[in-house]
Homo-oligomer: A and B are copies of this chain.
Amino acid sequence: MATIKDVSRLANVSISTVSRVINKSLKVSPDKVEAVMKAMEDLNFQPNSFAQALVNKKSNCIGVLVGDLCGGPFFAQMMRGIENVILPANKFVIVMSGKHEHDREKNSIEALLLRRCDALVVHSKALSDQELIEIARSDVPIVFVNRLVPTLEDRCVWVDISSGMETAVNHLIKQGHKRIAYIASDEVNNQDAKDRMDGYHRALNNAGIEFDNDLVSLAFPDENGGHNAIESLLMRDVGFTAFVAYNDAMAVGAVSALTENNISVPEEVSAIGFDNNLITNYIKPKLTTVRYPIEEVGETAAKLALNVLYAREREEYEERKEKETNKSYEKKFDLHEVVEFTREDLKFIPDLIVRDSVAPYDEAVVRESKVKKQKKK
């Protein structure tokens, strides 16, 4: 590996001159520039990123903590969003996965910090608000994803889950439905579950529809759970013309349970899932669902992280400018525009993916419907 020294020798200049042409930090006479360029070319010179990092005190790396890249497409999409922003900014991405385990998340963040990442994008589920606040005191800018940490709201990019659920229920209401069941997760204390339930309540409220606890059916949040939840709903004989589900897996199970009971979707019962899993597009009928704008979340988080970083660089620049004799620090600092993010910019509302599993409320159909009379076989 050729070094700056080799280049300087070949180009018959000092290493400082070489450094100058690399960084375009100061004027160098055209002929020397050319000589240096040629030498770099000939030697296939690449600056040693560690030496640069050591002296510049920055690594040009953005650290990302994810849950598990394999836990569905979620993190993969987030990563894509992050990359979309980081790579054009000429920085690298280092990923670590915390698997939602407390110690692993903690260690990973420490490791990322140790690597002197310029900024961190963190998706933490296992660490407490207090711990995150502690971590955020670090010198390096940290941004949190999918979480709203108190006192750090301007560092949090999150998705308003409850609004997503509200949108789904509203959609059904607009189609004329009033008896809207909720196929819910039985992990009731989970924040996600609470948020969704909130959304469900709010939509009903706003439409002046009274909440009926009989329409809520709890089960484990997977396909079987959805299946069972519908069975239990049918047994209750409560009558409903539509449902929203906690997630797509439950919705799929619910639809298949309805089909088995000869209840057609969407003719007799409209269905809406949540998450926009791939499956939703493959089953019949294609499932209307609610989509997290995950990629956008990733992009925004990355942008925010970059901006906090840029802002700090500016601060540091101003500081030095005051204290020292006015030098051309702009060049060294390579100052970037910093844009302001409002609370609204950092908050995402899931959108409805309209497919085939919702039909308008139809009095005639309901009269004939098997839903009410159906008993579990």
Using a CB–CB cutoff of 8 Å, the interface residues on chain A facing chain B are 1, 46, 48-51, 53-54, 59, 61, 68-70, 72-73, 75-77, 79-80, 83, 92-97, 111, 113-116, 139, 223, 252, 256, 277-279, 282-284
Contacts and interface: CB of A to CB of B under 8 A. Distances in A.
B83 A48 contact: no
A69 to B, nearest CB: 4
A68 B79 CA distance: 10
A252 B69 contact: no
27 contacts: A46-B114, A48-B54, A49-B114, A49-B116, A50-B51, A50-B53, A50-B59, A61-B94, A68-B80, A69-B79, A69-B80, A70-B73, A70-B80, A72-B73, A73-B76, A76-B76, A83-B97, A92-B94, A92-B96, A92-B111, A93-B94, A93-B95, A93-B96, A94-B94, A252-B282, A277-B278, A282-B282
Q: How many copies does the complex hold?
A: 2
Contacts of A256: 284
Contact of A49 (B69, B80, B115, B278): B115
A128 to B, nearest CB: 20
A1 to B, nearest CB: 8
A230 B285 CA distance: 20
A54 B46 contact: no
Nearest to A282: B279
Contact of A48 (B51, B68, B116): B116
A49 B114 CA distance: 7
Contacts of A61: 94
A115 B92 contact: yes
Contacts of A282: 223, 252, 279, 282-283
A358 B93 CA distance: 45
A116 B279 CA distance: 41
Nearest to A69: B76
Contacts of A277: 278
B116 A50 contact: yes
Contacts of A223: 282
Contacts of A48: 54, 116
A301 B115 CA distance: 24
Nearest to A111: B92
Contacts of A116: 48-50
